[in-house]
């Protein structure tokens, strides 16, 4: 073998190794979210707390569209919900980033904000519904609020697991 043939073989092998490595990274990204730089616990709590209203608003918009069987914009709201879920799920706590620690923070946020209170959740989502010209006095709206309250811990568990596929599957079932 000449020197050029050795280089070609090595170059070909190197390309194959890089191709396989990129493929593995992309597969990994499909399964799990990449985690952002860890945050102090208080900052983590603030960021999650700031993002939850958007999650609940978009969840309710998707659910309302499902209940009323009005498909226009449903895909849009599914995408919005999915995006907010990904953003919150990527956050991590500096030091102890265990699921139990993050679950404790979510419990604190829930108790401090009363998201599981129908009046509070209604206040959280009603402005967006009015903006979208959706009837906030209909049975469908009341059912949507009730369904969201019942789904809060399912939503939280998805945030805690950080699994892209589970989030995607869940979004299709709302």
Split at pLDDT 50, 70, 90, the class of 20 is confident
Task: Say what the pLDDT of residue 106 is.
Answer: 95
Rounded average pLDDT over 16-37: 68
User: Three-state SS string across the chain, please?
Assistant: CCHHHHHHHHHHHHHHHHHHHHHHHHHHHHHECCCCCCECHHHHHHHHHHHHHHHHHHHHHHHHHHHCCCCCCHHHHHHHHHHHHHHHHCCCECCCCCHHHHHHHHHHHHHHHCCCCHHHHHHHHHHHHHHCCCCCCCHHHHHHHHHHHHHHHHHHHHHHHCEHHHHHHHHHHC
- The percentage of residues in the chain with a pLDDT greater than 70, rounded to a whole number, is 87
Q: Which is more confidently placed, 91 or 2?
A: 91
Q: For residue 156, what pLDDT band results from cuts at 50, 70 and 90?
A: very high
Prediction pTM value: 0.78
Name the residue ranges covered by the structural domains of the chain.
1-31, 36-173
pLDDT in tens, 28-62: 555 555 677 889 999 999 999 999 999 999 999 99
Q: What is the pLDDT of residues 92-140, one digit of tens each?
A: 999 999 999 999 999 999 999 988 899 999 999 999 999 999 999 999 9
């Amino acid at each position: 073998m000449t020197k050029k043939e050795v280089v070609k073989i090595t170059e070909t092998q190197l390309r194959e190794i890089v191709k396989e490595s990129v493929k593995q990274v992309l597969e990994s990204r499909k399964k799990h979210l990449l985690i952002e730089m860890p945050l102090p616990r208080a900052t983590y709590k603030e960021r999650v707390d700031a993002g939850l209203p958007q999650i609940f608003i978009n969840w309710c918009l998707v659910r309302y569209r499902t209940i009323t069987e009005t498909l226009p914009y449903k895909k849009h709201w599914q995408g919005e919900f999915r995006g907010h879920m990904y953003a919150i799920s990527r956050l991590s706590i500096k030091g102890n980033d265990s699921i139990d620690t993050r679950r404790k923070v979510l419990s604190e946020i829930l108790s401090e904000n009363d998201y599981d209170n129908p009046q509070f959740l209604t206040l959280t989502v009603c402005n967006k519904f009015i903006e979208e010209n959706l009837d906030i006095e209909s049975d469908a709206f009341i059912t949507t609020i009730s369904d969201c309250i019942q789904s809060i811990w399912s939503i939280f568990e998805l945030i805690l697991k950080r699994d892209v596929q589970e989030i995607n599957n869940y979004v299709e079932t709302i």
